[in-house]
Amino acid sequence: MTVVFPLARLMPNRGVAALLPGDVQVAVFRTNDDQVFALSNIDPFSRAAVLSRGIVGDRAGVPVAVSPVYKNAFDLRTGVCVEDPDVSVEVYPVRVTEGMVMVGVP
């Protein structure tokens, strides 16, 4: 796993972009209940690296990040698009250790 930044940098209901080895772009999110998730930062519909700028919330109790481009919501747990379950983004393992956010490559 790669240390990407201190947890204090990640405000609740926000996302932050990070770069993993191999130029892998991830979007790391912190929910209101302090869970931390990591998805690919690339929106599969627009192909832009923007998911980290999305709105964090929930859809019927499912934690999601909503892309700022076409407003598609992605389940933070699975990466599946809520509106189109045939489309998904990569999910990355994430953990917080000693106040640092760490993300791995699946």
Q: What pLDDT, on the 0 to 100 scale, is given for residue 106?
A: 73
What is the topology classification, in CATH, of domain 2-103? Rieske Iron-sulfur Protein (2.102.10)
Residues 6+ apart with CB under 8 A from 6: 99, 100, 101
In the predicted model, is pLDDT for residue 18 greater than 90? Answer: yes
Integer Rg of the chain from CA: 12
Interval 45-88: pLDDT, tens: 999 999 999 999 999 999 999 999 999 999 999 999 999 999 99
In the predicted model, is pLDDT for residue 92 greater than 90? Answer: yes
What mean pLDDT is predicted for residues 14-21? Answer: 96
Interval 34-57: pLDDT, tens: 999 999 999 999 999 999 999 999
Please give the model's pTM, rounded to 2 decimal places.
0.95
Q: What pLDDT, on the 0 to 100 scale, is given for residue 105?
A: 86
Cα 63 from chain centroid?
10
